[in-house]
């Protein structure tokens, strides 16, 4: 029995659109991610999951800590019992900062991300309010942990031409940049510097599509290993102690990131679901676990079928790479319509079995956690059976941007 036949049998009693996660694949992916990290702790990236039950499943499988994508989300996770939550991005959410500053448990478990003094000024205001307007920190509250987001892109020069390869993520790049902001953190009453993050998107987030990409990845790893060590040393000298946390990498770069000098942990999340954008990676064997099913509502002509729903297009640069992938063999999206707002037309390839009204087709999202923003619940499947149905973030009434 094929994968799609199993999923269809497991969900035959449910209306579509329907989201499922194959637990055998999910658990195997979790084990593989930890194996690839070679003993370095792996933090689960919640944005790539967005199902609290599955974040917990990854933690139960040996992941250590969570990387949240917003401070409001981090506060909610801590409220629900999650520990050691690193916010992966800076925040300007004044309400969430005020709640963090006033909450003893949150201050123990949440680490803020910053890359600018302006973000620290917002934290300063929240800490002062929590202290009743005084200019110093309250002695009965633990210091808020802070992490510096350091740019990990590759900058190269060929003659007079200079190129920036990777995301423009942070204004911090050099040892001096990081040391200067670390000094500001340490001078802020009620805050302490906990660590540094280096996310090399041009390594972790790009499939190995051609030799040029692979060359960029090799150059990036070499350059970042050198610069990361220099930044860590500069910050250590500035604060007068070891840096507790040095985070790096993602699903696509676990091997190189975990081997990097000074790295204390890596982060992964998309590798639990293995969405469509990860099909081109050579560093691991794709084992998709997350799918969504649509039902055929009409057959407009021979070789055609139209399914209800399916317009779940991923973020990023608009193009075919952001469209869902058909998991049902022999069928594809059309070039003129793609994934539809209400109806999604499908085209049969030569030799593929036909689809009839009422048949179920299966697709994969191009990215990981974004799929779960479309569904209230996700059905966890093992074999041909649903073993549990759990709410997504959306199903719990939580959306964080």
247 and 334 inside one domain: no
In whole angstroms, what is the distance from residue 277 CA to residue 209 CA? 11
Q: How many CB atoms lie within 10 A of CB 309?
A: 21
Q: Within a domain: residue 36?
A: no
The whole-number pLDDT of residue 133 equals: 47
Contact (CB, 8 A) for 275 and 327: no
What CATH number is given to the structural domain containing 132?
3.20.20.10
What residue has token string 């990498």? 249
Q: State the total domains in the chain.
A: 2
Can you say how many angstroms the Cα of residue 59 is from the centroid of all Cα atoms in its chain? 15
What residue has token string 């990777």? 166
199 and 155 inside one domain: yes
The whole-number pLDDT of residue 132 equals: 53
Rg (C-alpha) for the chain, rounded Å, is 23
Q: Within a domain: residue 28?
A: no
Q: Within a domain: residue 149?
A: yes
316 and 230 inside one domain: no
Q: How many CB atoms lie within 10 A of CB 9?
A: 15
Contact (CB, 8 A) for 134 and 108: no
Q: Within a domain: residue 24?
A: no
CA-CA-CA-CA dihedral for 258, 263, 265, 269, to nearest 10: -60
265 and 166 inside one domain: yes
CA distances from 100 to 72, 180, 181, 396 (A): 9, 25, 21, 21
Per the DSSP assignment, residues forming a β-bridge with 364 are 325
Contact (CB, 8 A) for 86 and 245: yes
| CA angle in degrees (0–180, nearest 5) for 173-113-201 | 55
232 and 366 inside one domain: no
State the first-to-last Cα distance of the chain, in angstroms, to the nearest integer. Answer: 39
| CA angle in degrees (0–180, nearest 5) for 47-50-51 | 150
Which stretches of 53-166 are assigned E, i.e. beta strand?
66-68, 85-87, 110-114, 144-150, 154-158, 161-165
187 and 220 inside one domain: yes
**Low pLDDT (below 70) residues in the chain:** 132-139, 156-161, 163-166, 202-216
161 and 263 inside one domain: yes
Q: List, for residues 57-115, the tens digit of each pLDDT value.
A: 999 999 999 999 999 999 999 999 999 999 999 999 999 999 999 999 999 999 999 99
Contact (CB, 8 A) for 74 and 49: no
Last residue of a domain, one of 238, 272, 306: 272
In whole angstroms, what is the distance from residue 5 CA to residue 66 CA? 34
Q: List, for residues 215-240, the tens digit of each pLDDT value.
A: 667 777 788 889 999 999 999 999 99
Last residue of a domain, one of 246, 272, 298: 272
Q: Within a domain: residue 237?
A: yes
368: containing domain: 290-395
Q: Within a domain: residue 19?
A: no
In whole angstroms, what is the distance from residue 200 CA to residue 343 CA? 38
249 and 104 inside one domain: yes
């Amino acid at each position: 029995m094929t994968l799609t036949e199993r999923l269809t049998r497991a969900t035959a009693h449910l209306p579509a659109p329907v989201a499922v996660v194959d637990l055998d694949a999910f658990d195997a992916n979790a084990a593989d991610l930890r194996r690839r990290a070679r003993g370095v702790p792996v933090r689960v990236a919640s944005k790539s999951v967005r199902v609290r039950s599955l974040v917990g499943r990854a933690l139960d499988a040996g992941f250590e800590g969570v990387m949240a994508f917003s401070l409001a989300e981090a506060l909610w996770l801590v409220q629900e019992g999650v520990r050691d939550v690193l916010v992966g991005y800076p925040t300007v959410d004044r309400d969430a900062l005020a709640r963090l500053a006033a909450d003893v448990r949150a201050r123990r478990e949440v680490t803020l991300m910053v890359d600018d003094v302006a973000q620290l000024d917002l934290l300063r205001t929240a800490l002062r309010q929590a202290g009743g307007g005084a200019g110093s920190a309250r002695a009965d509250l633990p210091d808020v942990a802070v992490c510096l987001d350091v740019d990990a892109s590759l900058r190269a020069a060929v003659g007079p031409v200079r190129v920036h390869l990777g995301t423009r993520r942070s204004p911090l790049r050099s040892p001096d940049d990081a040391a200067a902001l670390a000094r500001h953190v340490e001078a802020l009453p009620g805050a302490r510097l906990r660590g540094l993050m280096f996310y090399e998107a041009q390594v972790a987030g790009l499939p190995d599509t051609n030799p040029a990409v692979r060359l960029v990845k090799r150059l990036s790893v070499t350059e970042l290993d050198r610069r990361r060590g220099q930044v860590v040393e500069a910050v250590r000298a500035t604060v007068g102690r070891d840096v507790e946390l040095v985070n790096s990498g993602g699903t696509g770069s676990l091997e190189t990131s975990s081997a990097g000098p000074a790295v204390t942990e890596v982060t992964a999340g998309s590798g639990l679901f293995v969405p469509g954008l990860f099909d081109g990676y050579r560093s691991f064997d794709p084992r998709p676990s997350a799918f969504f099913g649509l039902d055929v509502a009409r057959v407009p002509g021979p070789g055609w079928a139209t399914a209800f729903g399916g317009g779940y297009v991923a973020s990023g640069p608009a193009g075919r790479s952001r469209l869902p992938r058909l998991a049902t063999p022999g069928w594809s999206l059309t070039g003129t319509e793609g994934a539809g707002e209400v109806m999604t037309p499908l085209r049969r390839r030569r030799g593929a079995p036909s689809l009839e009204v009422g048949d179920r087709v299966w697709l994969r999202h191009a990215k990981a956690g974004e799929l779960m923003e479309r569904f209230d619940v996700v059905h966890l499947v093992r074999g041909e059976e649903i073993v549990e149905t759990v709410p997504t973030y959306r199903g719990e009434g939580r959306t964080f941007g």
